[in-house]
């Protein structure tokens, strides 16, 4: 009886382990731009000055959000799906079949 080792790779967008045979256009859920590049949850200056209780606070206010979907929850569900990619992937696969996930 022979066993065949299945080679797995790590996706650079979502961090999941995958095999090429299981990769498809909806396999990877991630936060990213329309070109399929991963984005991070970052602090941005909050320009929504609609909270009067903060009027006496000096300086800019910062709030965290995803740059791709503007969700303010750091644990928000991914907003895009596409193929799993690695650093060795064909560069065109990063932009192929990127779609917005329904939250």
Q: What is residue 8's predicted lDDT score, i.e. its pLDDT?
A: 93
Q: Which domain holds residue 50?
A: 9-100
How far, in Å, CA of 10 to CA of 79, rounded? 20
Q: What is residue 10's predicted lDDT score, i.e. its pLDDT?
A: 94
Per-10-residue mean pLDDT for the chain, 103 residues long? 74 92 92 72 64 60 77 87 87 74 64
If one counts the domains in the chain, the total is 1
Q: Is the pTM of this model over 0.85?
A: no
Q: Is residue 88 part of a domain?
A: yes
Q: Is residue 3 part of a domain?
A: no
Q: What is residue 87's predicted lDDT score, i.e. its pLDDT?
A: 86
- Written as one string, the DSSP assignment of 4-36 is -PPP-EE-TTT--EE-GGG--TTSEEE-B-TT-
């Amino acid at each position: 009886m022979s066993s065949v080792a299945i080679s797995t790779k790590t996706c650079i967008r979502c961090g999941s382990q995958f095999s090429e045979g299981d990769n498809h256009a909806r396999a990877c859920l991630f936060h990213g731009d329309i070109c399929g590049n991963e984005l991070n949850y970052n602090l941005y200056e909050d320009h929504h000055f609609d909270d009067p209780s903060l009027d006496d606070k000096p300086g800019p206010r910062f709030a965290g959000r995803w740059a791709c979907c503007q969700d303010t929850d750091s644990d928000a569900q991914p907003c895009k799906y596409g193929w799993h990619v690695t650093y060795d992937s064909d560069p065109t696969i990063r932009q192929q079949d990127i779609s917005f996930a329904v939250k």
